[in-house]
Structures are given as structure tokens and as C-alpha cells.
């Protein structure tokens, strides 16, 4: 396992092993079932190198992974019409931490050399889908 994280609403957890990601529904502590580990989604080759970290938006709708390839990937937990996964690049050294603002309108990433990149969501619409981020 190279990264792990629970969603803020505690309904899901993400496990990264190498370049692969699996998202499971969190087992219930009150309702016993024969097979408590229910796979919700999986991704292969999300990054070109090993995934080293994961974080979630505060509303648990999106998750972000980062890896040794110096990129971050923003993915939707649930299928959203018109949503396209986003890739963020710009760090020169390995990313050690990334997180979202309380309102989920900014993304902060910190690399080993102390560089902090701030990504800001804009309200511009492209063909009816909000998906523009700009470097702040």
C-alpha cells in the first residue's frame, strides 16, 4: 500500500498500491455481512509512477491523488455527466502533501523543496461544464 485515506463523510476509503487505486465502501459496524469489503470503484495506471498520497474534498465528492511522477489527479467519486478528470503539474520535487480549502474552491500542494502551489477554481463555463482551474 502506497497511500490510504477515508472520505470525510466516512462512507468510503481509498487504497493505492503502486499505480492502482481502489475505493471501497466503509463496512458498517452495526450491520454484519458476510463480505464487508465492497469494491466501489477502481482505476489502473492513474499515474505513470507510484501514487504516494491522497486527499478528499470536504464534501467527499472528489478525491485527489499525487505520485512520484510529480503530478496530481482530481477524480470524481461518483459519475458526473460532463466531468473530466483533471491533471495538475508544476512541481519540480516530489509532492509531500496536498489539501483543499474548507470551501473546496482552492487546492494547495507542497513539495519537498518547500514550494507551495495554490490552485483556484474559476466560475468560467466551457460548454456548460465547470472545469477551469488557474494557477494563483
CATH number at residue 92: 2.130.10.10
Q: How many structural domains is the chain composed of? A: 1
Which of left, alpha, beta for 52 (phi over 0: left; psi -120 to 50: alpha)?
alpha
- 3-state SS string for 42-75: EECCCCCCCEEEEEECCCCCEEEEEECCCEEEEE
Domain extent, residue 21, equals: 3-29+37-135
Residues 6+ positions from 63 with CB-CB distance below 8 Å: 5, 7, 14, 23, 54, 55, 56, 57, 74, 75, 77
Distance, in Å, from the CA atom of 23 to the CA atom of 39, rounded to the nearest integer, reads: 6
User: What is the grid cell recorded at 116?
Assistant: 507551495
d(CA 23, CA 74): 14
Supply the pTM of this predicted model: 0.84
What radius of gyration, in Å, describes the C-alpha atoms of the chain?
A: 15
**Could you read off the pLDDT tens digit of each residue along the chain, which spans 136 residues?**
899 999 999 999 999 999 999 999 998 777 776 767 899 999 999 999 999 999 999 999 999 999 999 999 999 999 999 899 999 999 999 999 999 999 999 999 999 999 999 999 876 655 554 445 544 4
- List the beta bridge partners of residue 109: 98, 117
Amino acid at each position: 500500500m502506497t497511500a490510504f485515506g477515508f472520505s470525510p463523510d466516512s462512507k468510503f476509503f481509498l487504497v493505492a498500491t503502486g499505480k492502482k487505486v481502489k475505493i471501497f465502501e466503509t463496512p458498517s459496524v452495526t450491520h454484519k455481512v458476510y463480505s464487508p469489503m465492497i469494491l466501489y470503484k477502481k482505476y489502473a495506471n492513474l499515474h505513470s509512477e507510484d501514487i504516494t498520497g491522497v486527499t478528499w474534498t470536504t464534501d467527499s465528492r472528489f478525491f485527489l491523488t499525487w505520485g512520484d511522477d510529480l503530478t496530481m489527479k482530481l477524480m470524481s467519486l461518483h459519475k458526473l455527466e460532463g466531468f473530466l478528470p483533471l491533471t495538475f503539474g508544476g512541481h519540480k520535487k516530489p509532492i509531500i502533501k496536498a489539501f483543499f480549502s474548507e470551501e473546496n474552491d482552492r487546492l494547495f500542494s507542497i513539495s519537498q523543496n518547500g514550494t507551495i502551489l495554490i490552485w483556484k477554481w474559476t466560475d468560467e463555463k466551457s460548454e456548460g461544464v465547470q472545469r477551469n482551474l488557474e494557477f494563483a
